[in-house]
Amino acid sequence: SQHFKLLIVGGGSGGLGTASKFAKCGSVGIIEPREKHFYQPGFTLVGGGLMSLEANVKNEADLIPKNTTWVRDKVKKFEPKENKVILRSGGEISYDYMVVAMGIDLRFDLIKGALEALETPGVCSNYHPKYAQKHFQEAMKFQKGTALFTFPNTPIKCAGAPQKACYITDSLLRQRGVRQNAKIIYATSLPRLFGIEKYLKSLEKIAKEKDIDVRTRWNLVEVKAKEKIAVFEMLDEPGKLEEVQYSLLHIGPPCSAPEALRNSELADEKTGFLDVNPKTLQSTKFENVFGVGDCMNTANAKTAAAVSSHLKTVGMNLKDAMEGRSCFSAEYDGYASCPLVVSTNRVILAEFNPQGACETFPFDQSKPTYIAYLMKRYFMPFLYWNGLIKGLWNGPATIRKCFSCVKKS
């Protein structure tokens, strides 16, 4: 069995960023089963035909930092009392410190018939690379009927993404001259379009202008692909179901904490996510364990932008722990960002923390702009590949401070 000073579980955005920050410490292992690494924020643009899938994928092998050992396997079981994990292959790895960065699992399986439906005409999802490409194909084929977009009754990463898919489809149908043949429905299990007041107002206006029929507290429970029928439960009227006939169906998948985490002592019993102190990102149960990214039970929106702030916090606090300091240097403030693509060339660059909007740039970011679209299309992928996963991008707080000084003087 192997031993590392630092063991990282998951080689996605947060895992690679952590590995880059700590590679110097000499003994870092990173467990990741997948051979390909996707830039997931690009999936929205793939679904809109605005970027190719190939431009959003790299080989994991080429991204693992130097001086880091890639264990191409999957954690099956955590044994944090013994400072070790059991792998799918049966092997064991022990550690002095562990960072859990396993992300969140897509659970199309929780909707009856959804997995099968994704293989039938008209059904797609930007949450999965294959079905994101299918989204664009379906939008280009669409002739008439209902285009239906759903948002699940669970936590989900990038909660704006199902809406982005809806707005982009509206644009594509207009460009193709078939929008008048379409009814577009956005059906969400939430009571409103967005949680932050400032962006909610802009989004409500956009949905109205685009003639999108918003149904709140609607939760997709079944897809009958043969008849092209989507079945919803009415969350405020227990027992009541509604059926919608679709031509195009974009599914926002239910999500859950990864299985190995859910079933471990590291999990928050209520949600199954990694139980951490929301400020220090240290496990509430094991002092030598920290978390990064979507797998934690923190209140932030689950985005790569939030990961950049998590990396700053864990970068400092884990170093403190390794050097024997019990008083931590950094606190996570709940920051997240979600570039809301509202057409094929406009973006609302939402940035917020649980208290409200928290914007970087000296313009009103709740207004859809072309410059924000250009940032989403060109700058964010650059920042991700060259900054975030290299451990060099700690979020926009510094830029924000610069702009706010310029504004004041």
Contacts with ligand FAD, residue ranges (CB under 6 A)? 9-15, 31-34, 40-41, 43-44, 74-75, 101-103, 126-127, 157-158, 161, 258, 260, 293-295, 302-305, 307, 337-339
Report which of 197, 113, 105, 110 is spatially closest to residue 156, judged by C-alpha positions. 105
Q: Binding string, 286-325, against ligand UQ1, x = CB under 6 A?
A: ------------------xx--x-----------------
- How far is the C-alpha of 169 from the C-alpha of 191, rounded, in Å? 23
| 338: annotated active-site residue | yes
DSSP class per residue in 285-340: S-TTEEE-GGGB--SS-BSHHHHHHHHHHHHHHHHHHHTT--S-S------EEEEE
Q: For residues 360 and 369, which CB has a smaller minimum distance to ligand UQ1 in the complex? A: 360
- How far is the C-alpha of 266 from the C-alpha of 80, rounded, in Å? 8
In the complex, the smallest distance separating the C-beta of residue 74 from ligand UQ1, rounded to whole angstroms, is 25
Contacts of 2 (CB under 8 A, 6+ apart): 29, 69, 71, 91, 92, 93, 94
Looking at 203, 384, 391, 394, which residue binds ligand UQ1 (CB under 6 A)? 384
Is residue 396 at the binding interface for ligand UQ1, with CB under 6 A as the rule? yes
Compute, in degrees rounded to 10, the torsion defined by CA atoms 176, 177, 182, 186. Answer: 60
Residue 332, judged by CB atoms within 10 A of its CB (0-12, 13-18, 19+), counts as buried
Residue closest to ligand FAD, measured at CB: 12
Catalytic residue among 166, 255, 338, 358: 338
Contacts of 157 (CB under 8 A, 6+ apart): 40, 103, 104, 255, 294, 302, 303
Task: Count the neighbouring beta carbons within 10 Å of the beta carbon of residue 164.
Answer: 26
- How far is the C-alpha of 291 from the C-alpha of 102, rounded, in Å? 9
The listed partner (ligand FAD, ligand UQ1, none) that binds 101, CB under 5 to 8 Å by sort, is ligand FAD
Catalytic residue among 124, 158, 166, 358: 158
The listed partner (ligand FAD, ligand UQ1, none) that binds 33, CB under 5 to 8 Å by sort, is ligand FAD
* Residue 339 contacts residue 48 (beta carbons within 8 Å): no
Is residue 368 at the binding interface for ligand UQ1, with CB under 6 A as the rule? no
The listed partner (ligand UQ1, ligand FAD, none) that binds 170, CB under 5 to 8 Å by sort, is none
Is residue 340 at the binding interface for ligand UQ1, with CB under 6 A as the rule? no
State which amino acid sits at residue 70: W
Scan for tokens 């039938």, then name that residue: 120
Report which of 5, 18, 11 is spatially closest to residue 83, judged by C-alpha positions. 5
Q: For residues 363 and 379, which CB has a smaller minimum distance to ligand FAD in the complex? A: 379
Determine the interface stretch with ligand UQ1 among 17-25, 85-93, 245-253, 387-395 (rule: CB under 6 A): 387-395
Is residue 380 at the binding interface for ligand UQ1, with CB under 6 A as the rule? yes
Is residue 337 at the binding interface for ligand UQ1, with CB under 6 A as the rule? yes
**Residues 400, 43, 149, CA angle at the centre, nearest 5°?**
105
In the complex, the smallest distance separating the C-beta of residue 17 from ligand UQ1, rounded to whole angstroms, is 10
The listed partner (ligand UQ1, ligand FAD, none) that binds 45, CB under 5 to 8 Å by sort, is none
In the complex, the smallest distance separating the C-beta of residue 394 from ligand FAD, rounded to whole angstroms, is 14
Q: For residues 173 and 383, which CB has a smaller minimum distance to ligand UQ1 in the complex? A: 383
- How far is the C-alpha of 403 from the C-alpha of 409, rounded, in Å? 10
> Footprint of ligand UQ1 on residues 41-80 (CB under 6 A)?
41
In the complex, the smallest distance separating the C-beta of residue 392 from ligand UQ1, rounded to whole angstroms, is 11
* Residue 134 contacts residue 44 (beta carbons within 8 Å): no
Q: For residues 286 and 403, which CB has a smaller minimum distance to ligand UQ1 in the complex? A: 403
Size of the site for ligand UQ1 (CB under 6 A): 15
In the complex, the smallest distance separating the C-beta of residue 404 from ligand FAD, rounded to whole angstroms, is 22
Is residue 394 at the binding interface for ligand UQ1, with CB under 6 A as the rule? no
| 402: annotated active-site residue | no
Q: Which residues are catalytic?
A: 158, 338
State the residues that interact with ligand UQ1 by CB under 6 A: 41, 304-305, 308, 337, 339, 351, 360, 380, 383-384, 388, 393, 395-396
